[in-house]
Amino acid sequence: MPKYKQTSEILKLMRDKEHIRNLGIIAHIDHGKTTMSDSLLAQAGLMSPDRAGEARALDYLEEEQRRGITIKTANISLLYEDEKGQPYVINLIDTPGHVDFSGKVTRAMRALDGCILLVDAVEEFQIMTEVRLRLALDEMVKPVLYINKFDRLIKELKMDADMVQQKILRIINQFNTQVQTYGSDEVKNDWVVNAGKGQVAFGSALDRWGFTLPMLQKKGITFKQLVEMYKEGKVEYLQEQLPLHEAILSMAIQHLPNPIESQPRRLMAIWKGDFESRMGKSMMAIDPEGPLVICITNIVIDPQAGLVSTGRVFSGTIRKGDDLYLVNAKKGYKAQQVSIYMGQYREIVDEIPAGNIVALLGISEGRSGETMVSEDLKAEAVGFESIKYLSDPVLTIALEPKKAIDLPKLIDALQKLSIQDPNLVTTIDQETGEYLLAGMGELHLEIAIKDLKREYNLDVTESEPTVVYRESIRASMGPFMGKSPNKHNRVFFNVSPLDPKIIDLIRMGEISEITSQRKMEEVLVEKAGWTTKQARQVFDINQNANMMIDTTVGIQGLREVKEHISGGFSWTLSAGPLAGEIVRGVMVDMFDISLHEDPVHRGPAQMMPAVRQALYAGILSANPTLLEPIYKIQVRVPATEMGNVTGLLSRKRGSIREVEQQGAVVGIIGFIPVSETLGLSQEMRAATSGSAFWQSTFDHWAPVPDNMLLEQVKKIRTRKGMTPEPPSPSEYIVRE
Ligand SMILES: Nc1nc2c(ncn2[C@@H]2O[C@H](COP(=O)(O)OP(=O)(O)OP(=O)(O)O)[C@@H](O)[C@H]2O)c(=O)[nH]1
Ligand SMILES: [Mg+2]
């Protein structure tokens, strides 16, 4: 039975940094993460004897129970004593495997030092196994491997010990190949795993037994005997001899880093301040006596308690009543309650020291990615790098309250939804006044709508999901002039397609509108081959991957209108001229400006429309197109059905990149436009008599084929209540 601790003892443990592990459980959907996390909670929970051991304690949302999948991340703290009696605190985050909830996994990574990649022994590496492992490698969160559903190999596949061994060797090889391919130079050799050294665990989360090879050796059980024992149904004996929590947690404490080892390495990747500053030094030392620094990694709005911010304490010790300053929001708040999450419950504690994960009440403007510091650090604090998501929201639905009187309630609810999940993006369609909700996929939106209806008690009607497009250009053109409504100000632009290298740098958050001059030069010179002079010309960067450079010389008053030009730039590009979709990948060279000498006549109401006029003229003239989102798709199907799948994919404008045969099953990897996947489930089922399993993840944006372009533009415009024909460039081109 677990030895539960009193809060006073827990605090002592949480101060002992060498004996803390912050780890995540990551995997493909349905491979058994939550079943495993539940069993760890039951066998090694740090608190709450009355609640641990509930069936599916971590998938506690009604929607999760109903669907049998995880939708959110859940935190628990565990206690594990090694054979010498040394106690360890393990802060664990169970994450969802479904692709639509990938953003939540990305946010959780911020709080972690290590993770366990879980792989279903039967299914082996699947599309999200690879995606999640690469995410961990990108974030410098060290992974180890747990191979789950070991029972299925023996019971269902009737494998003998040799066959089992071959199968697990293949999984370990897949893991190590990925680490060596995608890991950074610093880690790729250290992070490969070796089963003989106890860096791989095996087991059955369902039956709650598991082992590492050293553990098996110590108990004097051979691999062959183990397989035999399971075949003979000696599950209870295995549970007793080889408890799952021991296998997993002993692997975690031996092979995953503690905060002292990991935090300095992680800081290099996620914080760009000065390591010699007070803030930098204290975070590098994980000093519990230093100034407070917390990075928020998750927000939950609790109907009773209000907004709960979860985050990693990078420095200092957080106590109830502490004053916190939010670096991005530039506001101060008081921590009204300090607690740790145990599944759905929060347990109040007195304080949480650096190197742990905390849940706070009272930070009403807390947002994921926000940096919170103690008041005394306010003036010098440098925030963490923004959290980078691998994919964009690609589907959108229009919402309408059934009763007009509910509109304010709907707006409020939508705002709350996107505070908790920043991958749900709400916009108002400027033409129709409709409320639009964009998300990562059909399930993501379906669950958001359910929340609106049930949690927020709203009666809304929703449209079918439609695909989100982008607008872009394919030619370099110019000059284009934009004139302010009062005719006293002029801007002059050239436009061209933005270099894909720069698009990547913006998407990965390496450069943004808030990047310092010094860093901008460093990144653009090193990674894009620009000269320092060019890098100094960057005037504005827009998150949707557009850039403006300023090549004007000696313009009087430019500094005062800078903000208005930037405002016009982002306002215009949030809805392009072709179909009102977001503009992506445009480089604007502002090479001349003429301004009225009186600031009164060159305010935002004058400058923003001037910018828009020139940009619209430029985009419409430069061979504009729509970009559509493309999924990477992986299909597993019996070899006999392969032709039906490839046929279906090519009818859907898909392409095939790789076909891999594994026994009687083939794995097909390809690309398919998202617009062709709405309703694909039924067609796939019909084409393969239900024998195909498939998953897709967002991969990239690609131009809509030219022969479909105009029709697609008209379709979007009609849906938005605009005139079907897109405007011609002449509507925006002004001369003289
Ligand atoms: N046979 C067998 N089934 C298992 C094992 N572990 C989990 N399962 C089953 O696999 C299914 C999925 O388990 P979950 O724990 O919900 O999987 P998950 O990885 O958390 O899924 P998501 O969070 O939705 O990605 C459930 O039906 C479990 O009972 C195992 O070791 N053996
Ligand atoms: Mg789960």
What are the pLDDT digits (tens) for 554-594? 898 899 999 999 999 999 999 999 999 999 999 999 999 99
What pTM did the predictor assign? 0.87
- The Cα–Cα gap between 89 and 634 comes to 38
User: Residue 164: its pLDDT value, please?
Assistant: 92
Is 69's C-beta closer than 6 angstroms to any atom of ligand 1? yes
131 pLDDT more than 50: yes
The percent of residues in the chain predicted with pLDDT above 90, rounded, is 74
- Nearest residue by C-alpha to atom 32 in ligand 1: 149
User: Of 25, 29, 30, which is best to mutate to test ligand 1, by the most ligand atoms within 8 angstroms of its C-beta?
Assistant: 30
User: Residue 49: its pLDDT value, please?
Assistant: 42
- The Cα–Cα gap between 395 and 441 comes to 6
Identify the DSSP state of 463.
Answer: P
> Tens of pLDDT along 477-503?
989 999 999 999 999 999 999 999 999
Which tokens go with 218?
């110590």
Distance (Å) from CA 31 to ligand 2 centroid: 8
Which tokens go with 146?
């747990």
648 pLDDT more than 90: yes
H/E stretch holding 662 = strand 655-662
User: Residue 5: its pLDDT value, please?
Assistant: 63
431 pLDDT more than 70: no
- The Cα–Cα gap between 488 and 601 comes to 7
Mean pLDDT, rounded, of the chain? 92
Burial of 547-572, coded b for 16+ CB within 10 Å and e otherwise, reads bbbbebeeeeeeeebeebbbbbbbeb
Is 132's C-beta closer than 6 angstroms to any atom of ligand 1? no
Task: State the average pLDDT over residues 648-657.
Answer: 94
Where do the DSSP E strands lie in 227-292?
Answer: none
User: Of 40, 122, 206, which is best to mutate to test ligand 1, by the most ligand atoms within 8 angstroms of its C-beta?
Assistant: 206
User: Residue 47: its pLDDT value, please?
Assistant: 57
Is 544's C-beta closer than 6 angstroms to any atom of ligand 1? no
Distance (Å) from CA 132 to ligand 2 centroid: 14
Distance (Å) from CA 68 to ligand 1 centroid: 9
CB 143 within 8 A of CB 115: yes
- Amino acid identity of 301? I
Distance (Å) from CA 372 to ligand 2 centroid: 30
Q: How confident is the model at residue 280 (pLDDT cuts 50, 70, 90)?
A: very high
Distance (Å) from CA 466 to ligand 2 centroid: 28
> Tens of pLDDT along 170-184?
999 999 999 999 998
Task: State the average pLDDT over residues 137-165.
Answer: 93
Q: How confident is the model at residue 513 (pLDDT cuts 50, 70, 90)?
A: confident
End-to-end CA distance of the chain: 85
340 pLDDT more than 60: yes
Q: How confident is the model at residue 661 (pLDDT cuts 50, 70, 90)?
A: confident
Is 566's C-beta closer than 6 angstroms to any atom of ligand 1? no
CB 580 within 8 A of CB 716: yes
297 pLDDT more than 60: yes
> Tens of pLDDT along 600-625?
999 999 999 999 999 999 999 999 99
Strand partners, 142: 114
CB 715 within 8 A of CB 675: no
SS3 65: helix
Identify the DSSP state of 387.
Answer: P
Which tokens go with 532?
């320092």
CA distances from 67 to 39, 98, 597, 659 (A): 20, 12, 64, 31
Is 70's C-beta closer than 6 angstroms to any atom of ligand 1? yes
User: Residue 330: its pLDDT value, please?
Assistant: 92
CB 578 within 8 A of CB 619: yes
Q: Give the number of the atom of ligand 1 that is nearest the alpha carbon of residue 207.
A: 31
- The Cα–Cα gap between 112 and 117 comes to 13
The percent of residues in the chain predicted with pLDDT above 70, rounded, is 97
> Tens of pLDDT along 670-722?
999 999 998 888 899 899 888 888 888 899 999 999 999 999 999 999 988 89
User: Residue 430: its pLDDT value, please?
Assistant: 66
User: Residue 56: its pLDDT value, please?
Assistant: 65
475 pLDDT more than 90: yes
Q: How confident is the model at residue 1 (pLDDT cuts 50, 70, 90)?
A: very low
